[in-house]
C-alpha cells in the first residue's frame, strides 16, 4: 500500500473548485433516465450518453474525478480511445463503483444491505489494471416506521469499512457512501438524528478496520427534510444542520466530504451546497460534490437521444458543472442560472 500516493490522490479528488461526476448508474438505473427522454436502454445509447459527458471540452476545469460503471470502464469513444484515456486527457481521475447494489436485509426486509464483498479483492485488482484510481461503495439507510434499526446501521457500516480497507490494500482511494435516503415525509430533525447515528457507526468501523482516513473521501447525504415533508427546511437550515451533524461525527483527518445529490433537483443540490460553503465555519474539510442527477439532468434533457443535440447538451453539462463548482466555493447565485 502506497500511503503517500493514497493521500495525495484523495486530496486531489477534493481539491479547490472541483467536484466528482457520478456516472456509475447501473444498467437498470440508467434505463429510467433514458426512458425519460424516450431513448431505448441499449449498450450503444448508454455509451453515447457517457461519451457526450466525457468528451465535453474543458469539463476538467470543474470536475476532478468520474465514477464509472463496470460496463463503462471497458468501453471506448468513437476515436478508439478508452473512456479512461478520454477522462485522463482532461486531467480528471477515473474511478469505479464496486458494490453489487442493494437487497433486502435478512430478518429486516424493509431495510437494505449492499452486496458485493465476495470476490471484491480480485475485482479491485482488475479495475486498477483497467485504469481506475479510486472506488465507490454505497450503503442505504431508510427512515420510516420503526426504522432504521441499529442492526441495519451496523451491518452497512461494517460492509463499508471492509470495502474501504480492501480498496486501500489495492492502492485505490475508497469513496465511502452512507446514504440516508430523503424518501418519506420525515422532518429535518429526523434526518439529523439518523445521519448522526449512521456516521458515528461508520467511523467507528473504519477505525476498527484500520482504514487510513487521510486516504479516503466521504460521500454522504445532506441533512434534509423528506421529499414529501409538508414544510421542507430552507437551504440555510440544511446548511446549519448538515455541518453541525458532521462536526459531531467526521474526524478532521478526512480530507473532504463530497455530497451526493440524492434525489434533489440540480438547482436544489446546488443551492444547498452553496449555503454550506457560505457558512463562516463549515468545518475542517473540503465541502464538495459527487453528483449524478445533479449534473446530468439538464444535459440529458437537452440531448434527448439525438445526435443533432450533442453539442448543445455538452454546453448544458459544462454550464451545470460550472455552476456546481461555483457553489462548491460559496460563489453561486440563482441569477447565474440565466
What's the pLDDT tens digit per position in 93-149? 999 999 999 999 999 999 999 999 999 999 999 999 999 999 999 999 999 999 999
Averaged pLDDT, 25-34: 91
- Cβ distance 52 to 310 under 8 Å? yes
- Number of Cβ within 10 Å of residue 74's Cβ equals 12
Q: pLDDT digits over 46-79, tens only?
A: 999 999 999 999 999 999 999 999 999 999 999 9
Averaged pLDDT, 214-237: 95
Distances (CA, A) of 161 to 92, 137, 157, 276: 26, 10, 6, 27
Ordered domains of the chain (ranges, CATH): 3-337 (3.20.20.70)
pLDDT at 295 over 90: yes
d(CA 30, CA 270): 22
189 catalytically annotated: no
pLDDT at 197 over 90: yes
Residue 22 DSSP SS3: strand
Q: Bridge-partner residues for 114, per DSSP?
A: 102
In what helix (H) or strand (E) does residue 177 lie, and over which residues does it extend?
strand 173-180
Return the DSSP state at 336.
G
Long-range contacts of 118-127 (CB under 8 A, 24+ apart): 120/163, 120/166, 121/166, 121/169, 121/170, 123/98, 124/98, 124/166, 124/167, 124/169, 124/170, 124/172, 125/170, 127/73, 127/96, 127/98, 127/172
Q: Choosing from 219, 268, 286, 314, which is the catalytic residue?
A: 219
pLDDT at 185 over 90: yes
Alpha carbon 231 to its chain centroid, in Å, reads 26
pLDDT at 12 (0 to 100): 97
pLDDT at 232 (0 to 100): 93
Cell numbers for 59, please give them: 469539463
Percentage with pLDDT > 70 across the chain = 100
pLDDT at 289 (0 to 100): 97
308 exposure class (CB count in 10 Å sphere: 0-12, 13-18, 19+): exposed
The sign of the CA dihedral 210, 212, 217, 222 is positive
pLDDT at 280 (0 to 100): 85
The sign of the CA dihedral 306, 19, 148, 185 is negative
Q: Choosing from 25, 97, 111, 177, which is the catalytic residue?
A: 177
Supply the mean pLDDT for the chain.
96
pLDDT at 217 over 90: yes
Cβ contacts of 128 within 8 Å, gap of 6 or more: 170, 171, 172
pLDDT tier, 266 (very low <50, low <70, confident <90, very high otherwise): confident
177 catalytically annotated: yes
pLDDT at 264 (0 to 100): 87
Averaged pLDDT, 3-22: 96
108 exposure class (CB count in 10 Å sphere: 0-12, 13-18, 19+): middle
In what helix (H) or strand (E) does residue 126 lie, and over which residues does it extend?
helix 120-130
d(CA 212, CA 203): 11
Cell numbers for 158, please give them: 461494517
d(CA 332, CA 334): 7
Task: Give me the half-sphere count of Cα atoms (radius 13 Å) on the Cβ side of residue 189.
Answer: 1
d(CA 84, CA 73): 7
Cell numbers for 229, please give them: 415533508
pTM above 0.85, yes or no: yes
Amino acid at each position: 500500500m502506497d500511503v503517500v500516493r493514497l493521500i495525495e490522490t484523495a486530496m486531489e479528488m477534493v481539491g479547490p473548485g472541483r467536484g466528482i461526476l457520478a456516472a456509475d448508474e447501473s444498467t437498470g438505473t440508467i434505463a429510467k433516465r433514458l426512458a425519460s427522454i424516450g431513448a431505448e436502454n441499449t449498450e450503444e445509447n448508454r455509451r453515447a450518453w457517457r461519451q457526450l459527458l466525457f468528451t465535453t471540452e474543458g469539463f476538467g476545469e470543474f470536475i476532478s474525478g468520474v465514477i464509472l460503471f463496470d460496463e463503462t470502464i471497458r468501453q471506448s469513444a468513437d476515436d478508439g480511445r478508452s473512456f479512461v484515456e478520454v477522462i485522463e486527457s482532461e486531467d480528471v481521475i477515473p474511478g469505479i463503483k464496486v458494490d453489487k447494489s442493494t437487497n433486502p436485509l435478512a430478518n429486516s426486509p424493509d431495510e437494505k444491505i449492499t452486496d458485493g464483498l465476495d470476490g471484491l479483492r480480485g475485482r479491485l485488482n482488475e479495475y486498477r489494471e483497467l485504469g481506475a484510481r479510486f472506488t465507490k461503495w454505497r450503503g442505504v439507510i431508510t427512515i420510516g416506521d420503526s426504522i432504521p434499526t441499529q442492526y441495519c446501521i451496523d451491518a452497512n457500516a461494517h460492509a463499508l469499512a471492509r470495502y474501504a480497507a480492501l480498496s486501500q490494500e489495492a492502492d485505490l482511494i475508497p469513496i465511502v457512501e452512507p446514504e440516508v435516503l430523503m424518501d418519506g415525509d420525515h422532518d429535518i430533525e429526523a434526518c439529523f438524528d439518523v445521519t448522526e447515528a449512521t456516521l458515528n457507526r461508520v467511523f467507528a468501523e473504519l477505525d476498527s478496520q484500520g482504514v487510513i482516513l487521510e486516504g479516503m473521501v466521504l460521500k454522504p447525504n445532506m441533512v434534509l427534510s423528506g421529499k414529501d415533508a409538508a414544510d421542507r427546511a430552507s437551504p440555510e437550515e440544511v446548511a446549519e444542520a448538515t455541518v453541525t451533524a458532521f462536526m459531531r461525527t467526521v474526524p478532521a483527518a478526512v480530507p473532504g466530504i463530497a455530497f451526493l445529490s440524492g434525489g434533489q433537483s440540480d438547482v436544489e443540490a446546488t443551492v444547498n451546497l452553496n449555503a454550506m460553503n457560505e457558512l463562516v465555519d463549515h468545518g475542517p474539510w473540503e465541502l464538495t460534490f459527487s453528483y449524478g442527477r445533479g449534473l446530468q439532468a439538464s444535459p440529458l434533457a437537452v440531448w434527448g437521444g439525438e445526435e443533432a443535440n450533442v453539442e448543445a447538451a455538452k454546453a448544458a453539462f459544462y454550464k451545470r458543472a460550472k455552476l456546481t463548482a461555483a457553489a462548491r466555493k460559496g460563489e453561486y447565485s440563482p441569477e447565474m442560472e440565466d
